[in-house]
Amino acid sequence: MSSNFVPKRVLGKFMHVTDQPLKRPGGKSLVYFMGAGFCPFCAAERWAIVKALERFGKWDGLVEDKSAGHDEKYLNVPTFNLARARFESDTVEFMGKETADRNFEPLQELDDKDYEILDMYNPDQMIPFLLIDGQYMQVGAGFSPELIQEKSHADVLKELGNPNSAIGKAMNAEIDNITALLCKATGGKSAACEGVKALTAKL
């Protein structure tokens, strides 16, 4: 990381934090996510992560879930549990850690690989934390969980398909932001990059 590099906001809440890509074996771009099952903001952001990455590959083992039903600002936000999910892609590698479940019980322990990333980009271990290619990061959700709290997964999917609804606009904007960042990182090799050229041009 250059000592005179100044982080700046790029798309949505994403910050450009370094010019040094964090590539994985085989040259894939890394998407790293840390969240927790109880966290409503993590629940919201997972939708955008899952849907954006679907444009670059295939998920296996995704499980529908909800955020905590008590002791959080927004409750029962529909989401996915990524603890055992696997993502296959020719250009992108996904690494995720869910530190607790929706009942606040410990779930996945952080290991040396996690600390290596967190110590550099997110030493306070704030969640949700999303890092794309080592260059772009976001702490927090790109849209408010309030939009989808207490809704079913089917409801959210229906709204997602309606670009004119409040939910559709907010979620699709975040999905496109993640897509554009990945298109920048991967050299625009996915067909999905055609639809976000204007966003990618801003990077």
Kindly list the domain boundaries of the chain, sorted by start residue: 8-200
Burial tier of 57 (Cβ tally within 10 Å: 0-12, 13-18, 19+): middle
**What percent of the chain is predicted at pLDDT more than 70?**
98
For the stretch 134-177, pLDDT in tens is 999 999 999 999 999 999 999 999 999 998 999 999 999 999 99
- pTM as predicted: 0.95
pLDDT for 32: 97
According to the model, what pLDDT value does residue 1 have?
46
Q: pLDDT of the chain along its 203 residues, tens only?
A: 445 678 899 999 999 999 989 878 788 999 999 999 999 999 999 999 999 999 999 999 999 999 999 999 999 999 999 999 999 999 999 999 999 999 999 999 999 999 999 999 999 999 999 999 999 999 999 999 999 999 999 999 999 999 899 999 999 999 999 999 999 999 998 899 999 999 999 99
pLDDT at 201: 93
